[in-house]
Structure 1
Amino acid sequence: MPELRPLRSGYYVWHYVPSIAASIIFFLLFLIATSFHVWKIWKLKSRMMLAFTIGGVFEFIGYVVRASAYNNTDRLMPFCIQSMFLLVGPILFTASVYMVLGRIIRKVGAEHHSLIRVNWLTKTFVISDVVTFCIQGGGAGMLVVGSLANIGKIIVIAGLILQVLGFCLFLVTSVVFQMRIGRYPTRESVDPAVQWKKYLYSLYAVSVLITVRSLFRVVEYIMGQNGYLMLHEWCLYTFDGVPMLFCMVIFGIWYPGEVCYIPKVNLAAVESFELKSFA
């Protein structure tokens, strides 16, 4: 029976013996989901989903390393790897989410309805994503260095807060776009064959899940090493693992990469719609 052991220095990096069963289950689930997304990228050549898929790779690596820590709670490296990969993996999810909105806006010919100029939309949010990735990655690396742990904690919290703020701005941009196109629809947006709304709604669902997960991480680090969230493993799986898995499932069912293959606007259907509107 494994027991919780400290490092040679006497410092406990784990607060509990990580569950090998839960780690393996989540490793397998993320492996299956990520494999599906790899297949979809190969099939549709949807490069905008590459970052999202790499995020899935980060997730299953994080959980498989976490499983290996079951009998190695006195080793620093497994703890560092799983902590780093599970912390920054979702940031890669958001990069693809940002790209999806820009692709939808272009596909329905509604660039003039975007709150941020479409040419800058994806660039702006992806750059903010890269910045938060670097901040959180650097902070996570400092967490395991005793003398730098407090500084690392502050850096990670700052990175998470910036990520949440950036995501809130993104959601506002998405909602404003939908409100504007609802009032002043384009010819492409009213074509029944162009089912762009289902991709937008799936984007909303994934965005909410990522926001919930990020808020959980903010609260977790603010509460500190002796806080309830750090001391109880179920919190990690409930508020981090499950939301990120659902993100992969949602984008697996309503795959954003298919936006590239939305058929061209059916002018006859659009004209019929317009005649009914003015009748």
Structure 2
Amino acid sequence: MLISRDADFDLYPYTPSGTAGWAFLVLFAAGGFVHLCMLIIYRSWFFIPFILGCAGEAAGYWARAQSHRNIREGGPYLIQLMLILASAPLLSATIYMALGRITRALDAVRHAFLSPRWTTKIYVVIDIGSFVCQMMGSAMQASGDPAGIKTGNTVVIAGLSIQLGAFGLFIINTIIFHRRLVASPTPVSMNGGWRRYLWMLYGVSLLVVVRSIFRLAEFVEGNEGHLYKTEVFLYIFDATLMFLVVIVMGVVHPGRLVKQMKKEDHIPLL
């Protein structure tokens, strides 16, 4: 496996942009810091995986910036491959958990397709599976062995497919909950301020789905594909979309709703 030594071949089909790498390092690091502050303010501990995801994204783009100097150095290549792929499931875990917190905050558990506790458990387990597949597949691809690269590519595709399927089901669950709550509002939800939090979930879910479709198409095409050979696609359909998730989750932070409902003593919240 490539760790710190140089490979005998170019690890990238281009020279990674150092400027873009440093830019997204700063953006994700800043976003993670802001979310850390908001976690403390709102006591929204379910955002811990989200902050870890921001840290992973920042480290991944740091590694890409390092690769600008030497496209045969194994360490930075492996770091960016693993962390940029595997940080998305960490961000996704908090999106899944947010629905359960919103459901409880609105005293609307009876409207949920699945109980919030089971929703969190099921989707987090699926997310862990996706995370493991993408980490393992990335490590296999960095081996330099043709058989390992092929197997790793298949494992990453499996992880991305799991992630896409999970988000499809998650969006359906959110829609069912949304429709039921509109049809039969709870006393807590009568002011209508909750709607923007569900639209936030739709928005960030769509961003992650588009990103996952792009990465899936990239790995299906393989190393000779146009998507893999064109760096700008990575920054448009992965880095930018994931950073938009960070922004949207900060602007419409579900911890704000949870804290507000708890302060008003509508229901006991976890």
TM norm structure 2: 0.92
Q: For the residues of structure 1 that align with 2:10 and 2:151, how far apart are their CA atoms? A: 18
Q: Please tell me whether the aligned partners of residues 38 and 53 of structure 1 are also in contact (alpha carbons under 8 angstroms).
A: yes
Q: Please tell me whether the aligned partners of residues 48 and 257 of structure 1 are also in contact (alpha carbons under 8 angstroms).
A: no
Secondary structure (helix, strand or coil) at the match of 2:189 reads coil
- CA deviation digits over 1:45-73, x for unaligned, max 9? 21011111110000111111110111121
Aligned partner (choices 25, 37, 40) of residue 38 of structure 2: 40
Q: Please tell me whether the aligned partners of residues 187 and 265 of structure 1 are also in contact (alpha carbons under 8 angstroms).
A: no
Q: Please tell me whether the aligned partners of residues 7 and 72 of structure 2 are also in contact (alpha carbons under 8 angstroms).
A: no
TM norm structure 1: 0.89
- 2:93 maps to 95
Secondary structure (helix, strand or coil) at the match of 1:188 reads helix
- 1:220 maps to 218
Secondary structure (helix, strand or coil) at the match of 1:17 reads coil
Q: Does 1:258 align with 2:270?
A: no
Secondary structure (helix, strand or coil) at the match of 1:257 reads helix
How many Å apart are 1:265 and its aligned residue? 7.2
Q: Which residues of 2 match residues 1-279 of structure 1 at below 5 A?
A: 10-145=8-143, 146=145, 147-190=147-190, 192=191, 195-263=193-261, 264=264
Secondary structure (helix, strand or coil) at the match of 2:68 reads helix
Secondary structure (helix, strand or coil) at the match of 2:14 reads coil
Q: For the residues of structure 2 that align with 1:45 and 1:108, how far apart are their CA atoms? A: 18
Q: For the residues of structure 2 that align with 1:155 and 1:94, how far apart are their CA atoms? A: 19
How many Å apart are 1:11 and its aligned residue? 2.5
Which amino acid letter does the alignment assign opposite residue 186 of structure 1?
T
Where in structure 1 are there 5+ consecutive unaligned residues? Answer: 1-6, 267-279
How many Å apart are 1:9 and its aligned residue? 5.4
- 1:269 maps to none
Secondary structure (helix, strand or coil) at the match of 1:262 reads helix
Q: For the residues of structure 1 that align with 2:82 and 2:15, how far apart are their CA atoms? A: 18
Q: Please tell me whether the aligned partners of residues 7 and 74 of structure 2 are also in contact (alpha carbons under 8 angstroms).
A: no
Identity among equivalent positions (%) equals 32
Which amino acid letter does the alignment assign opposite residue 55 of structure 2?
V
Q: For the residues of structure 2 that align with 1:260 and 1:189, how far apart are their CA atoms? A: 12
RMSD of aligned residue pairs (Cα, Å): 1.5
- CA deviation digits over 1:61-90, x for unaligned, max 9? 111111011112121111000111100111
- CA deviation digits over 1:150-181, x for unaligned, max 9? 00100100110011001100000000100111
How many Å apart are 1:254 and its aligned residue? 0.9
Q: Please tell me whether the aligned partners of residues 24 and 239 of structure 2 are also in contact (alpha carbons under 8 angstroms).
A: yes
Where in structure 2 are there 5+ consecutive unaligned residues? Answer: none
